[in-house]
Amino acid sequence: MKLNLNKGQRLWFTSDTHYNHANICSSTTQWLEPVTIREFISLEQMNSHLIANINEKVEQDDILFHLGDWSFGGFEYIQEFRDSIFCKNVHLILGNHDHHIGNNKEGVQSLFSSVNKYLDLIVKWNMGTPAQDEARFALMHFPIASWDNMARGAIHLHGHVHFEPRLRIGAGKMMDVGVDGNGLYPIQMSEVLRLMRNQPIKSMFTFDHHEIVENYK
C-alpha cells in the first residue's frame, strides 16, 4: 500500500487493545499465571480509557493502523468500539483474536478503511523541501524474523507479544506497537522513526541474505 500524507496529517500505530477482554483486566481476569494484566476497576473502565487515549492523540483526519486483536465479542462490540473512535481512517491488520472480522461476518470489514493479514506500507510526505520524504514499513500482528525490504531499512511493526516498554524494541528495525508497551497509547510515526533511526539492519537471524548479495554486486 502506498500512502501520501497530506499537510498536517499524522500517521499512528497501535495494537492489542483487546476491548472487552475480561481476562486482560485485573478486576475480571481468571488467569492464574503471571501474564500481562491491566489494572482497572472494571472492564468498562479499561475500554473507555483505551478509547479516550486514542481520541486524545489521533485527530479525525489522521490515519491509524491497528495491528490486531481489536476486541472480544460479536459484531455489536466491534462496531461500538469503532464508532467510539473519532478518526475516520482506521486500517486493521488481523490478529489471532480477530476471527469475526477475518471471516467478515455481517460485513464487519466495512467498518475499517482496509483489512489485511500482512501489509507492506510505503509512506510519503512533503515537509516543504523539493525531495519528498519516504518511509517503508512491514505490518503484521505477529513478530517475524525477516520482511520485505529489510536490508533497505524497512521497519517491521507488530503486536501480539504485549511487551513492557523496555522490551518493545526488538533486534534491528522492529518494534512492538501494542498499547501495553506504549503507555496504553498509540504511537506516532515520527516517534517510531526516531526510535528506529540508529537501530541496525538485522533481524532475529544473524544476517539477511540480501546483504550478502548486495556486497557482491
Tell me the per-residue pLDDT of 109-133, one tens digit each, with 9 for 90 and over: 999 999 999 999 999 987 665 556 9
Residue 109 burial (CB count, 10 A): 16
Structural domains in the chain (count): 1
Q: Given a cut of 60, is residue 188 above it in pLDDT?
A: yes
Nearest to 172 by CA among 145, 203, 197: 203
pLDDT of residue 129: 59
Q: Given a cut of 60, is residue 217 above it in pLDDT?
A: no
* Grid cell for residue 40: 482497572
pLDDT of residue 126: 78
pLDDT grade, residue 28 (50/70/90)?
confident
Nearest to 140 by CA among 97, 172, 104, 95: 95
Domain with residue 89: its CATH number is 3.60.21.10
Q: Given a cut of 60, is residue 193 above it in pLDDT?
A: yes
The mean pLDDT value for 168-192 works out to 94
Q: What are φ and ψ of residue 12, in 5° steps?
A: -125, 155
pLDDT of residue 128: 61
First to last CA, the chain: 29
pLDDT of residue 81: 96
pLDDT of residue 206: 45
Cα 87 from Cα 72, distance rounded (Å): 21
For helices 75-84 and 43-57, angle between their N-to-C axes, nearest 10 degrees: 40
Residue 217 burial (CB count, 10 A): 4
Percentage of the residues of the chain whose pLDDT score is greater than 90: 70
| 27 DSSP assignment | T
Q: What is the pLDDT of residues 131-161, one digit of tens each?
A: 569 999 999 999 999 999 999 999 999 999 9
b/e burial code for range 161-177 (CB count within 10 A of at least 16 → b): bbbeeeebbbebbbbbb
- Cβ atoms of residues 186 and 91 within 8 Å: no
Q: Which structural domain range is residue 69 located in?
A: 2-215
Nearest to 89 by CA among 127, 125, 58, 120: 58
Cα 55 from Cα 51, distance rounded (Å): 6
Nearest to 195 by CA among 212, 216, 176: 176
Cα 13 from Cα 112, distance rounded (Å): 14
pLDDT grade, residue 35 (50/70/90)?
low
